[in-house]
Amino acid sequence: MNNQMFAATQLNQKNQRTEKLVQLLFILMASLLILPVLVILATLVVKGGSILSIDFLFTDPTNGMTEGGIFPALLGTIWLVAVALIISVPLGIAAAIYLSEYAPDNWFTRLINLAIINLAGVPSIVHALFGLGAFVVFFGFGTSILSASLTLAIMTLPVVIVSTREALQAVPHSFREACWNMGATRWQTIRRVVLPNAVSGILTGIILEVSRTAGETAPIMFTGAVFFSPFLPQGIMDQTMAMSLHLFVVSTQVPGVPENLPYGVALVLIGMVLLMNSVSIAFRMHLRGKKKW
């Protein structure tokens, strides 16, 4: 009698079976989402791995881009990312400080948030149109690293703002109150207490932005990046090649490219991006473990 009372009824058994089935279904879905990507990465490594070498990274493309390395594209991407960061990081951090430390909870702040969401949601090709219309034509910067980086900076600004704001808001309010009680001004509090405690979180966001910026193609196509340039960029008013556009060019625009060349370019690009993201993730986990409050 007692045993029967706690034994699974038929309904229980049915429920348990369904439970197992449903769980299996979800595991299947999750793995079906992840699996193709692992297969794709493996294919890239297998097909592009053979061309990778130090020479590939540090020599110029030769013979109508069908041979040689990717150095100008790699250097161009570094230029583009660096200039974009110089523009967007101070601006993004200022915006995040305003939103986290100063902004009242009113319609205007909601408007700013809406603008940030839309800045992130506008198609990259529309950013490209804007960059062309504004920086290349209207301000007369021409197709240059400056125009392309400005376009990239505006496009990736939301990444910096959102991650910095999160890092700032993670600093407990009591820290600020303690500082204010000592007679410090708002800015002294932010500079001496809030920012030092949030700096690693901000850094995580910046690394993430580097990864985003390096992979973008459409915004730089008409604003500063070119298919091929015989010269390395000397300054921000020069045009440049870029990794992402180079991948597009060697895989669609150039005839007679050996098969492993575009795979190699794709591998380097995706390697750069995933490395950045992994660093950012590792950094974040390390932080979470270290947090003092």
Residues 52-71 contacting another protein, CB under 8 A: none
CB 96 within 8 A of CB 108: no
Nearer residue to another protein within complex by CB, 49 or 133: 133
Q: Does 253 bind another protein (CB under 8 A)?
A: no
Q: Does 118 bind another protein (CB under 8 A)?
A: yes
Q: Does 40 bind another protein (CB under 8 A)?
A: yes
User: Which of 56, 79, 141, 222 is in the footprint of another protein by CB under 8 A?
Assistant: 222
State the number of binding residues for another protein (CB under 8 A).
89
Residue showing tokens 């600093």: 171
* Spatial CB neighbours of 276, under 8 Å, sequence gap ≥ 6: 207, 208, 210, 211, 214
Q: Secondary structure of 123-169 in the HEC alphabet?
A: CHHHHHHHHHHHHHHHCCCCCCHHHHHHHHHHHHHHHHHHHHHHHHH
Q: Does 277 bind another protein (CB under 8 A)?
A: yes
Task: Kindly state the DSSP code that residue 33 receives in the 8-state scheme.
Answer: H
Q: Does 137 bind another protein (CB under 8 A)?
A: yes
Q: Does 97 bind another protein (CB under 8 A)?
A: yes
Nearer residue to another protein within complex by CB, 72 or 92: 92
Q: Does 115 bind another protein (CB under 8 A)?
A: yes
Q: Does 95 bind another protein (CB under 8 A)?
A: yes
User: Which of 13, 16, 53, 62 is in the footprint of another protein by CB under 8 A?
Assistant: 16
Nearer residue to another protein within complex by CB, 197 or 217: 217
Element (H, E) at 62: strand 61-62
Q: Does 130 bind another protein (CB under 8 A)?
A: yes
Q: Does 129 bind another protein (CB under 8 A)?
A: yes
The Cα-based distances of 74 to 35, 45, 57, 156, 247 in angstroms read: 29, 19, 8, 20, 11
Q: How far is the CB of 286 from another protein (least distance, A)?
A: 14
Q: How far is the CB of 115 from another protein (least distance, A)?
A: 4
CB 132 within 8 A of CB 222: yes
User: Which of 83, 167, 202, 266 is in the footprint of another protein by CB under 8 A?
Assistant: 266
Nearer residue to another protein within complex by CB, 116 or 236: 116
* Spatial CB neighbours of 55, under 8 Å, sequence gap ≥ 6: 69
Task: Kindly state the DSSP code that residue 51 receives in the 8-state scheme.
Answer: G
- The distance from CA 97 to its chain's CA centroid, rounded to whole angstroms, is 21
User: Which of 59, 169, 200, 251 is in the footprint of another protein by CB under 8 A?
Assistant: 251
Q: Does 247 bind another protein (CB under 8 A)?
A: yes
